[in-house]
Amino acid sequence: MPSKKTDSPKHSQLAGTDTPDRANTNAKVQSLEDVRSDATGQALRTNQGVRIADNQNTLKAGDRGPSLLEDFIMREKITHFDHERIPERIVHARGTGAHGYFQSYGNHSALTKAGFLQDPAKITPVFVRFSTVQGPRGSADTVRDVRGFAVKFYTDEGNFDLVGNNMPVFFIQDAIKFPDFVHAVKPEPHNEIPTGASAHDTFWDFVSLVPESAHMVMWAMSDRAIPRSLRMMEGFGVHTFRLINDQGVASFVKFHWKPRQGVHSLLWDEAQKLAGKDADFQRRDLWEAIETGDYPEWELGVQIVPEADEHKFDFDLLDPTKIIPEELVPVTPLGKMVLNRNPDNFFAEVEQVAFCPGHIVPGIDFTNDPLLQGRLFSYTDTQLSRLGGPNFHQIPINRPVAPNHNNQRDALHQHVVHKGRASYEPNSIDGGWPKETPPAAQDGGFESYQERIDAHKIRQRSESFGDHFSQARLFFQSMSPTEQHHIIKAYSFELGKVEREAIRAREVNEILANIDLKLAAAVAANLGLPAPTAVTVQVKGSQLAQSPALSQLNHPGVVGIKGRKIAVLVADGVDAGSVDRLVKALEAHSARPLLLGPTSAPVKAADGTQLPVAASMEGMPSIMFDGIVVPGGKASTDALAASGLAKHFLLEGYKHLKAMVLTRELSGSLGLKEDKGLVLGDDQGAVDAFVKAVEGHRVWEREAAAEAVPA
């Protein structure tokens, strides 16, 4: 499928045309080009460069005799094959990625001395990896789970990795509990079930015993855990970081990625069906969007807290289970990220990319968040075993565009031939090179923030980390009624999979009751448990009763229906003019209309023309689309009304609250009534109403009626 070409930096910066700061961008592109291999027109050779005459047969003693050990070609080929796989990530194993660029909106030197945030003309290459947490590499994309959102900035001061999630908090406060959490959420050890899911005893046993997890579990039970697309989810740095300017003035910050496509999710029924019908749904969606030129975009922003205001909140900034509500500290936009190029090789780029929160540049520094502090060790330690040693930074996808000269030599998979006699510092033999760069110099060396610390060594949690329920309550009470309904259903589904009633009761009575008694009562009723009548701990009040920024319905996006997939159902006898009007109207909004027929064969229109289809309705079911339109043509609509497959497609789309354009006759035959998102006709007014409904993502007003519709 051809890409849409533009003259904007989002395309041309990787093509080597005249764009700002293209030298830095092209340096990264060239570092990958240097190691790419194109076999077109090339002779088949061994890894040692020897031409191969026969790649079909092992060397044997006679045509039916034993294979000979001396066959170096066969041995090399089989040996390499036997060692092709590397250990998958313990968490975030299932992922995908893309290349792109970041561009600052302005000069943010008052906030940070990080160079990539100071020049709006600078184009900084990035690579982003999205992932699920729990499942292995072969698990499905659409499971209920946290999504990883890791960005590698190839800045000219070194690589900066912003390694976050699509949720702004985490399950635990201290890194020492991370192995316990992961062991609990992973498949149970006695039977390795379930794959890619948290709906089992060990997870709920752990979180019901660890109240600090209550806020994050609330996010995980919300629609945030089943995003419609990787392009349509927020990203967060999770932890509080520091930004530092040239004068040494530091500010606390929280990093935010806000998608210009809006924040949208699947329905749970859709997510489950997609896991079976297209386990690659989200990675396919990202790939196709980039290939067709619908480049995903996010705005990078920060919440800024001056050091003097560190203790002005009713929570601790160092607590990773807490957010700073945006109503208290708005997000300040810094720049925009665009993903505009797919990987050339999944393994070499997506699997071998190595992120670490400890990869920072001058102007960015850490805080004493105890979860962050553990991550600074854990990520590098993980890469050592996954990627075969300490030289993983030399793998092309991990190489910085900045030079990296030091005295770290040798070790496994060393790719650099180091010159010189001195592999130590200081030295005089090699003229003292490489030398340190004083922090005060232009392009100065990295200097850690000088934070005064005067304390005893102690294993103890700060009292300021002790409130586990007020922000979980704030989250639930900030949701729309629709979102609250989904959260209740999610808790009920997950806990319904728990075998031990004691665990279910503990979660309801000791966790949910302390968040919201109505929530607890609704879940209890669905589980057949008595409703709790009182809290078990005294929950302190929050500074806010609600935070509208937490509701997805308040983040519709700014790009309309750009990139949205619309199913156009056709059968023999369809009105070709109606098809043409609808398709052109949708394409005018940069949507992606796809014609679907009863089979994959072309459809014959009423005027005799042949209309090729993208797929059959069975091959691409309604759950893969954002909206459905049915063009006019009596023979076509009669055929659809008589088709069980088409009726299922349409009823399922209605049940999943999709916007739809139908003929009056077809709507009547299905027993569906016109509503805000079910539009009759194919004129411009119908298209306008349909587009507006798709912009809202779902026809939420239909949900109560739709739940009674079989599909």
The phi and psi torsions of 124 (rounded to 5 degrees) equal: -105, 120
| The token pair that represents 210 in the structure block | 């660890």
| CA 61 to the chain's CA centroid | 55
The phi and psi torsions of 386 (rounded to 5 degrees) equal: -70, -40
Question: Which tens digits make up the pLDDT trace of 563-615?
Answer: 999 999 999 999 999 999 999 999 999 999 999 999 999 999 999 999 999 99
Res. 11 pLDDT band, cuts 50 70 90: very low
Question: Which tens digits make up the pLDDT trace of 146-174?
Answer: 999 999 999 999 999 999 999 999 999 99
Q: Residue type at 106?
A: G
Q: For residue 567, give the 3-state DSSP assignment.
A: strand
Beta carbons of 541 and 470 less than 8 angstroms apart: yes
Q: Taking the CA of residue 350 as centre, how many other CA atoms within 13 Å lie in the half-sphere pointing to its CB?
A: 21
Q: Residue type at 505?
A: A
Q: Residue 20 pLDDT more than 70?
A: no
Query: Which pLDDT value is given to residue 32?
Result: 60
Which has the closest alpha carbon to 54: 44, 68, 39?
Answer: 44
Superfamily of domain 565-706: Class I glutamine amidotransferase (GATase) domain (3.40.50.880)
Neighbours of 601 (CB within 10 A): 12
Mean pLDDT of 36-54: 90
Q: What is the distance between the alpha carbons of residues 46 and 38, in angstroms, rounded to a whole number?
A: 15
| The token pair that represents 128 in the structure block | 């982003």
Query: Which pLDDT value is given to residue 706?
Result: 78
Q: How many Å is the Cα radius of gyration of the chain?
A: 28
Catalytic site residue from 11, 92, 359, 468: 92
Q: Residue 204 pLDDT more than 70?
A: yes
92 is catalytic: yes
Beta carbons of 141 and 132 less than 8 angstroms apart: yes
Question: Which tens digits make up the pLDDT trace of 604-653?
Answer: 999 999 999 999 999 999 999 999 999 999 999 999 999 999 999 999 99
Q: Residue 26 pLDDT more than 70?
A: no
Q: What percent of the chain has pLDDT over 70?
A: 94
Query: Which pLDDT value is given to residue 33?
Result: 64
Q: Residue 13 pLDDT more than 90?
A: no
Res. 24 pLDDT band, cuts 50 70 90: low
| Type and span of the H or E element at 124 | strand 123-132
Give this prediction's pTM.
0.93
SS3 annotation, 227-274: ECCHHHCCEECCCCEEEECCCCCEEEEEEEEEECCCCCECCHHHHHHH
656 is catalytic: no
Domain boundaries, the chain: 1-36+85-432+468-555, 565-706
370-386 vs 178-185: helix axis angle to the nearest 10?
Answer: 60
Catalytic site residue from 165, 340, 509, 514: 165
Query: Which pLDDT value is given to residue 29?
Result: 63
Q: What is the distance between the alpha carbons of residues 608 and 247, in angstroms, rounded to a whole number?
A: 75
Which has the closest alpha carbon to 520: 469, 465, 482, 466?
Answer: 469
Q: Residue 707 pLDDT more than 80?
A: no
Q: Residue 663 pLDDT more than 60?
A: yes
Is CATH 2.40.180.10 correct for 1-36+85-432+468-555?
yes
Beta carbons of 196 and 143 less than 8 angstroms apart: yes
| Type and span of the H or E element at 11 | helix 9-12
Please give the mean pLDDT across all residues of the chain. 93
Query: Which pLDDT value is given to residue 16?
Result: 33
Q: What is the distance between the alpha carbons of residues 664 and 605, in angstroms, rounded to a whole number?
A: 20
Mean pLDDT of 336-365: 97
Query: Which pLDDT value is given to residue 711?
Result: 57
| The token pair that represents 582 in the structure block | 């609808």
Which has the closest alpha carbon to 169: 236, 71, 250, 224?
Answer: 236
| Helices and strands in the chain: count of H runs, count of E runs | 21, 18
Beta carbons of 365 and 244 less than 8 angstroms apart: yes
Q: Are both 1-36+85-432+468-555 and 565-706 of the same fold? A: no
Mean pLDDT of 407-414: 90
Question: Which tens digits make up the pLDDT trace of 488-543?
Answer: 999 999 999 999 999 999 999 999 999 999 999 999 999 999 999 999 999 887 78
The phi and psi torsions of 315 (rounded to 5 degrees) equal: -145, 170
Query: Which pLDDT value is given to residue 6?
Result: 38
Query: Which pLDDT value is given to residue 283?
Result: 98
| The token pair that represents 367 in the structure block | 């805080």
Mean pLDDT of 542-566: 95
| CA 46 to the chain's CA centroid | 39
